[in-house]
Each structure stands twice: as structure tokens, then as C-alpha cells.
Chains A and B, each alone.
Chain A
């Protein structure tokens, strides 16, 4: 593997490790992230992994472009994929229900799997966290079964409740906070994904693995979930 190193800003490089989204990328991405952190040490300002790339922002007061490239080459020299055991796994309870997942019924019909079939397919796959973005704690998980793949809504909703589980193309995600959003909603999770009160807390990080565990309404409420039915916000 020979990653490309590209300049993207005065103090930022993108390390392009792959050209396609693939679950098999992740052990390499994890290993590369760790090696870059180690190589740059205190000269690293930020590191943003995403699907196929790492964005490295370094401290200009300590390094110039040449030195930064040197560190990157050092970090990637002889890179080996991280062992699967080094990725954390999360079991995330989800109440799959039309009252909190307005697209669940339609997806069941469109896919020919029915609601039960959609839930079954969605909750059996072990997903990977490809990247976090859009909002604090919002994890892009994939890859969703092809029969569940759904294009984003033509008009994004102004307000999606916190905890909502959605599908967009072959990705799935939970909205950590109330926010606008255009993903197809199929359920809701009671789990807190991001907590601003806890310093640096995010339930998951890029490279982690995630499985969804279907739960009933009673369990959802017991776990602190808000079962207020989804309502389209008035314009």
C-alpha cells in the first residue's frame, strides 16, 4: 500500500490510503491513525479520519511541510493492519417502530422484506464506524444491506429527534442531538452518544464496531428513551 500525501492547506495534509469505501479499510485506517499520532506527538493539532483518508493538521510553529511529510512517511513505513481485537464493539439497543421511525413501514414494503425483515437485516450486521461528522458523536456506519439502501429524503427535515436511527444509501447512523436531517428514519435508541458534560466523551470513535439490538417499547423507556411519536415539524 502506498498512500498519497496531498497538501490541503497551509498546515494540513491528507493521507489518501484507499480509493473506495470498504469495511476492509478499517484495520489499516486504525493502525495508520495510531502511527501518525505517535510520529507527530505534540506537533499534532488534529487528526480527522474518514472512510479512506486521514486529515493531519500540524503545528506550524514546530514543523514545516517537509518535516511533516517526513513524519508521515515514518508513520506509514511498514504499516500493518491493526488486529481486529483492538477495535471496540458496541451493542446499541434500538426500538424499531413506525411511531418513532416514519420510514420503517415504507422501507418494509419497498424492499419486499416487510417491517420484521427490515429489522432483522438491519440488526444482524456488524457495522463499522467509518467516520464521525455532521454533528458531535454522529457516526457514519456501514455498510447497510443492499436491499435496505435508501436515498436521502428529497427535502431534509428541519428537526429530527435525538436518538433517531436513519439510513442513507448504504450507511446508517443515529442522530446524537436534535438536528435537521434527511436520512430515512426507522427507529430510535435510548443510548447517549455524546455528552458535553463529560470531557471528550463520545461513545464511539472511527474504527469501532457496532451492532444494533432490537428492543421493545417497555425496555426502551426503562433505558431512558423518549417515546414521543415522531411528528413532522410544522413549517
Chain B
């Protein structure tokens, strides 16, 4: 019962919901950046939503099945093929012993999530298998290494079901803008900068990884340049002295000292996780109350669908 990795690509890592309760020790959150696609990939096989999946970044990734099994794919379309036959994300599928699953290159999105029956096996380090290379934590051997050629992936159980993605599961593209809960040091930015922040096009920079994504656009000015470091939440939009925002993601450092506009909503984090460098997007302020209501509705509808 295993899958042999033949090509590891730019970055492929085991991820789950990440670590909680350990950030006061300097340990980051980690976990699937597009947490929605990760959860849906599990749902397609009837797994617990937080079971470990493989997060495949950009492609150039391939594996060979050493046994017959079912797998599921969700998230980015990385041009996947099963023995040469195109395989669209959003479905569970059978793979037979000897067959090869190849992810070539991104057609839409950045990160694909591959799930296996019961979730992939990996040791829990501080309660999670989330791979964080910088911290030497998580992954197949617990030491933070990404998946490499020759690695064997095992899984924990049997698929209880094989599903296709329901219509309402599709995450809308961030055309309307990424929702931002205002807060933190918002009051310290100049009026012009606040106008620019929410009325300008922002371009996703090449410098984008699991720690953060840099945006290029108008220069934002803040009355304070540095502050005493404090804990920073997921999706925080920090603005260093060059005035170009950096949106902090799952592998961010636990504390930071740059002024912030606020933080993306969880849905917006999942959307940003699928934006290629060069993508043009907007930031859209959302009232906290409404953001909380919408997030609860999203989780509740997910709960309903996933427990049917």
C-alpha cells in the first residue's frame, strides 16, 4: 500500500490543519495554505477533513502506484494526467498498481491537494504532520523535509466513499477582491495610503511562498516605521519601510514588528494561495461582524455537506 514519488517538483509537502497551541514557543502554524481545497480533497474520499494530504506546488511532480487504490484531487489544475489521460481536480479516482500520476504545470491555480484513503501516514510532531522546512518540523520523517524523489507514501485506511465535488464547493476567484478585516495599525497609515490600499490594483510578486506573499503597487506610508514585535495572525498584511505589503501565510514567523493594515479572511487566504505571480488583485475591506458571520456560514455549510 504505497505510492512511489518519481519526481518531487518545486515543492511538495505533507500538510494538515497545522499546529495550534505552540506559537508561544516560537513554533509556526503551518498547514495547508488553501485549507478549503485540502478539506475538500479529504471529503472526496470520506476522510476526516483535516487528514494529511500532499500539497503540490506548481507541478513537475509524479508518482507511481505500488498497489491499486483510490485517491482524490482538489485545488489547482496542474495539468494532471493518469497514464496520459487528463485528470481534472475535484474528484476521487481509482489508480491501479503500476500507473503513473503526473502533474505537469499550472493551468489554473498554484497548489493542488492529493488525498489518500484515511489520510497519508506521517508522524505527528507537536500535534501535526505539517511540513515546515525552516523549523525542521513535520513531513514524512518529522524533520521538516519536503517530499523527495524515492519517498514512499503510505496511508491510514480505506476509502469509505468516492465523490465528486459539489457545485457550491468551488472557491470563487478573487476577482471581486480579497476580503480584509481592518485592524492592527490601520489608524497609523496616511489617508492617501488607505485610499490606495483599497482602490488600486495589486500585483502578486515572484517573492511568494508559504511564509508570505509580496504585493506590488502604490507605495503605502505609515506614521510608524517599526514597532515592538508582537504576535501576528494568519493573513496579516504587514507593510515594511518600502511601502509594499506582504501578506503573511501559514509558515510566517510567530511575531513581527512591521505595521499592519489588518488581515485577510480565511477564505481570502485560500484564494490568495492559488494566485500565480503576476496575478492582479484588489483588497476589499470587510466589517468584522460581517466577516465573522460569513466565515461561520461557510464552516456551517461545509459541516452540513460533509456530514450528509
B292 shortest CB reach to chain A, Å: 5
Instruction: Find out whether the CB atom of B296 lies under 8 angstroms from the CB atom of A8.
Output: no
B208 shortest CB reach to chain A, Å: 19
Residues of A contacting B143 with CB < 8 Å? 196
Instruction: Find out whether the CB atom of B233 lies under 8 angstroms from the CB atom of A55.
Output: yes
Q: Does A14 contact B (CB under 8 A)?
A: yes
Q: Does B68 contact A (CB under 8 A)?
A: no
Residues of B contacting A194 with CB < 8 Å? 25-26
Given contacts A12-B263, A51-B228, contact A135 B24 (CB under 8 A): no
Q: List 14 A-B contacts (CB under 8 A).
A: A7-B288, A8-B263, A10-B181, A10-B266, A10-B288, A12-B233, A14-B231, A49-B24, A51-B229, A131-B255, A138-B26, A139-B26, A196-B125, A196-B142
Question: With the chains together, A191 CA to B254 CA distance in Å?
Answer: 23
Q: Which A residue sits closest to B135, measured CB to CB?
A: A136
Question: With the chains together, A49 CA to B181 CA distance in Å?
Answer: 22
One digit per residue, 1 when the CB lies within 8 angstroms of any chain A CB and 0 when it does not, for chain B 203-239 equals 0000000000000000000000000111111111000
Which bracket fits the contact residues of B? 35 or more
Instruction: Find out whether the CB atom of A137 lies under 8 angstroms from the CB atom of B25.
Output: yes
Q: Does A200 contact B (CB under 8 A)?
A: yes
Q: Does B199 contact A (CB under 8 A)?
A: no
Segment at the interface with A among B15-23, B57-65, B98-106: B15-23
Instruction: Find out whether the CB atom of B24 lies under 8 angstroms from the CB atom of A9.
Output: no
Instruction: Find out whether the CB atom of B262 lies under 8 angstroms from the CB atom of A8.
Output: yes
Question: With the chains together, A45 CA to B21 CA distance in Å?
Answer: 6
Residues of B contacting A46 with CB < 8 Å? 20-24, 29
Q: Does A53 contact B (CB under 8 A)?
A: yes
Residues of A contacting B181 with CB < 8 Å? 7, 9-10
Residues of A contacting B289 with CB < 8 Å? 64-65
Q: Does A146 contact B (CB under 8 A)?
A: no
Residues of B contacting A12 with CB < 8 Å? 233, 263
Residues of B contacting A32 with CB < 8 Å? none
Q: Does A60 contact B (CB under 8 A)?
A: yes
Instruction: Find out whether the CB atom of B255 lies under 8 angstroms from the CB atom of A9.
Output: no
Instruction: Find out whether the CB atom of B24 lies under 8 angstroms from the CB atom of A48.
Output: yes
Given contacts A64-B292, A199-B126, contact A9 B235 (CB under 8 A): yes
In the complex, the 5 A-B pairs of residues with the closest C-beta atoms, listed nearest first = A55-B231, A48-B231, A9-B233, A9-B263, A132-B26
Name A residues whose Cβ lies closer than 8 Å to a Cβ of B. Answer: 6-12, 14, 21, 33, 45-55, 57, 60-61, 64-65, 131-140, 177, 179, 194, 196-197, 199-200, 202, 205-206
Given contacts A52-B228, A60-B299, A138-B26, contact A9 B125 (CB under 8 A): no
CB-based A-B contact count at 8 angstroms: 140
Instruction: Find out whether the CB atom of B255 lies under 8 angstroms from the CB atom of A200.
Output: no
Q: Which B residue sits closest to A203, measured CB to CB?
A: B25
Question: With the chains together, A79 CA to B18 CA distance in Å?
Answer: 33
Q: Does B136 contact A (CB under 8 A)?
A: yes
Residues of A contacting B263 with CB < 8 Å? 8-10, 12
Q: Which A residue sits closest to B265, measured CB to CB?
A: A10
Instruction: Find out whether the CB atom of A196 lies under 8 angstroms from the CB atom of B137.
Output: yes
Instruction: Find out whether the CB atom of A8 lies under 8 angstroms from the CB atom of B228.
Output: no
A112 shortest CB reach to chain B, Å: 29
Q: Which B residue sits closest to A176, measured CB to CB?
A: B26
Q: Does B291 contact A (CB under 8 A)?
A: yes
Residues of A contacting B26 with CB < 8 Å? 132-139, 194, 202
Instruction: Find out whether the CB atom of A14 lies under 8 angstroms from the CB atom of B184.
Output: yes
- Of residues 252 through 289 on chain B, the ones whose CB sits less than 8 Å from some CB of chain A are 253-255, 260, 262-263, 265-266, 288-289
Residues of A contacting B126 with CB < 8 Å? 196, 199-200
Residue with the greatest number of chain B CB neighbours at <10 A, chosen from A12, A48, A53, A133: A133
Residues of B contacting A57 with CB < 8 Å? 233
Instruction: Find out whether the CB atom of B230 lies under 8 angstroms from the CB atom of A55.
Output: yes
B279 shortest CB reach to chain A, Å: 23
Residues of A contacting B305 with CB < 8 Å? none
